[in-house]
Amino acid sequence: MMYQLLASLVVMIHLLFVLFVLFGGLLVLRWRRIAWLHLPAAAWGVLVEFTGWICPLTPLEHWLRTQEGAAGYDGDFVLHYLLPILYPEGLTHNIQLILGALVLIVNIVIYGWIWQARKQP
């Protein structure tokens, strides 16, 4: 039971990280210093998507599930609703490239907006 709980926690952290990668620039509008955390996180997210690498959180989550003999995902809210967001069916390298481009575009727009706001008197 403890491993399943830890695996669910890893999935939630993973989802929060993905959301931070995509939308963390919005936090920079309020707290400028967040950029020091967000820019490396966004770069990592783009790199993972463009190269087809697997985020280290994914094998950790799978390992935790297998420690109690779990073979699949069934049961709780986290597994049923959050896993499909992080691990969609039919995820191909081309889709990963599109997701990486989306992360880049969203963040370029946000940081462009921040840059313009700073330049105005």
pLDDT in tens, 41-94: 999 989 988 887 888 888 888 888 888 776 555 544 455 556 677 777 777 888
For residue range 10-52, list pLDDT tens digits in order. 888 988 998 999 899 999 888 989 999 999 999 998 998 888 7
Closest CA to 37 of 10, 54, 16: 16
Whole-number pLDDT of residue 83: 65
pTM, two decimal places: 0.75
The amino acid that residue 2 corresponds to is M
- CB of 6 within 8 A of CB of 64? yes
- CB of 59 within 8 A of CB of 11? no
